[in-house]
Amino acid sequence: MSKNLDKNLIKNLEILGLSEKEAMVYIDLLQREEAVGSSKIVHNTALHGQYVYDALYALENKGLIRHSVINGRKKFEANAASRISNLLEEKKIATERSIEALELLSKKPLAQEFEVYQGENAYIQRQFDSLKQMPEGGEILVISTNWGDLFTKSRPDFFYEFEKLRKQKNISVRFILNESLRKQANMARIERFKTDFRFIPEYSSNGGFCVYHDCVDFYLFGAPIVVFSFKNIMVSGGYKNFFEVLWGMGQK
């Protein structure tokens, strides 16, 4: 085994929870065909005797080595390298428990993310990415004064893939639109998967918003189009409630 490979292997073992000296001792024992005393390990690794004794004790506690007593002296040998997987499992359990404990201690408010997207391509890609992140069986809620021609006409290839994925994930969508868009909406209601509409009196805002699972996107249909996206479960929940109020007031 080359010195460079030794260094890489030692670093990987440190990531798994071994100290540098424990890794050096373990590698030394793995390369031996029979059990040896600590003095031979000291000689081969060039580590101080106390470091070797401490490493042997720690490695045995981790289940990576074992010892036997021959003629009154301890002899050490490595267990199978597959025992390393036990360290991974223990580390995973410890990580999960630590996260649970830290979350109970945390006093911080719910996390919030904010991003801005500008331009037609960014607008289209944002919708597609949001759909990918939604859980199966979810629902998208949309309020808009525009039909969304940028999505359906500028990039029909994207729209086809969007609808295909929406159907695969069993995600429904509801729109609240201007009354003037009723004809287009009724056609879409027939052609598109799990799509429904309600209509409100004509108004113009050159914008709208879209609620996904845990985020709200606000659209400004200017030149160029701009999207302000807020990811916050409480904010999205508030806008879902607002949508339901308007949905109840809208016309079928």
Domain of residue 144, CATH code = 3.30.870.10
Q: Between these two residues, 54 and 6, which has the higher pLDDT value?
A: 54
Q: Is 133 inside a domain boundary?
A: yes
Structure confidence at residue 57 (pLDDT): 93
**pLDDT tens-digit map of 85-108:** 877 777 778 787 887 777 677 665
Q: Give CA–CA dist 16/226, Å, rounded.
A: 46
Position 217 in a domain: yes
Residue 239 banded pLDDT, cuts 50, 70, 90: very high
Residues belonging to the chain: 252
Per-residue pLDDT tens for 186-200?
888 888 899 999 998
**pLDDT higher at 107 or 125:** 125
Q: Are 243 and 154 within one domain? A: yes
Same domain, 78 and 128: no
Q: What average pLDDT does the structure give for the chain?
A: 85
Q: Kindly calculate the radius of gyration of the chain based on its CA atoms and give it in whole angstroms.
A: 31
Whether 125 has a pLDDT exceeding 70, the answer reads yes
Residue-level pLDDT at 54: 94
Domain that holds residue 222: 113-249
The total number of structural domains in the chain stands at: 2
Q: Examine the domain organization and report whether 65 and 12 are in the same domain.
A: yes
* Judgement on whether residues 127 and 241 belong to the same structural domain of the protein: yes
Domain endpoint, select from 103, 133, 157: 103
Question: For residues 147 and 5, which has the higher predicted lDDT (pLDDT)?
Answer: 147
pLDDT in tens, 138-184: 999 998 877 666 666 667 778 888 889 999 999 999 999 888 888 88
Distance CA 114, CA 239 (A): 16
Strands 215-220 and 207-211: antiparallel
Angstrom distance (rounded) from CA 100 to CA 73: 45
Report yes or no on 108 lying in a domain.
Answer: no
pLDDT at 4: 47
Both tokens of residue 28? 């030394």
For residue 104, give both structure tokens.
């109970």
* Same domain flag for 32 and 125: no
Same domain, 74 and 163: no
pTM: 0.54
Element (H, E) at 103: helix 84-105
In this predicted model, what pLDDT tens digit does every residue of 201-232 receive, in sequence order?
877 777 888 999 889 999 888 788 899 999 88
